[in-house]
Structure 1
């Protein structure tokens, strides 16, 4: 049997800041989990793209939406609007932005290992 572990976003292993947002990362059980906080006006193309230096977000995401609304447009044209309580699975190749005046918070279980890190 493995050992039980407990981690908290109140004491993350790493914090990555970018314009109009930040990512808090915890490592647990060999996995990396991220809590992203996106302020009103945040958009991947203007806040993270200059760091990633890719055409669109290449990180795949499997995430739970805690607060706020995110609009996601896939490179292929599909559009999703993610609300609190939603779970989204996003493959590589998308842009996203906060809709409205509320902070958007997501907990991501897949795509935050290199998110918002300079390459």
Structure 2
């Protein structure tokens, strides 16, 4: 049987708050998960999500697009890049990240099924 399902992003199935500085709104349809992350100025994975995840670095593979703001990602091997509005991204597990500047960074991310969860 064919699947036809939808959910408006303004009414997420769940909101996962970060320790400080933002949250991730999550919609899950069948085996597809989409998150809209709002990362406020001052957000840093190692301070805001590490206490939730309990890992030394982020172990989630992220795939998505930056809608606004800027975020720098540093891989465990030291490789670093900054994403900004319109940048499509793939980020493998093993990284830290932080918001750059005074504007919230908003990312649409399909790699969040277990992100910011214990």
TM-score scaled by length of structure 2: 0.94
Matches within 5 A, 1:70-89: 70-89=71-90
Corresponding position of 2:6: 6
Is 2:91 the partner of 1:90?
Answer: yes
In structure 2, the gaps of 5 or more residues are none
The DSSP-based 3-state class of the residue aligned with 1:45 is helix
2:106 maps to what in 1?
Answer: 105
- Tell me the CA shift for residue 4 of structure 1: 3.0
Deviation at 1:98, TM superposition (A): 0.3
The aligned residue for residue 47 of structure 1 is 48
Secondary structure of residue in 2 paired with 1:9: coil
Distance 1:11 1:27 in 2: 12
Determine the C-alpha separation between the residues in 2 that align with 1:7 and 1:66: 20
In the alignment of these two chains, the number of paired residues is 117
Deviation at 1:29, TM superposition (A): 4.2
2-structure distance, mates of 1:5, 1:99: 36
Query: What is the CA distance between 1:114 and its match in structure 2?
Result: 1.1
Q: Distance in 2 between matches of 1:48 and 1:42?
A: 9
- Divergent runs of 4+, >6 A: none
Task: Give ranges in structure 1 of 5+ residues lacking alignment.
Answer: none
Q: Distance in 2 between matches of 1:61 and 1:49?
A: 16
Alpha-carbon distance in 1 for matches of 2:99, 2:39: 7
CA RMSD of aligned residues (A): 1.1
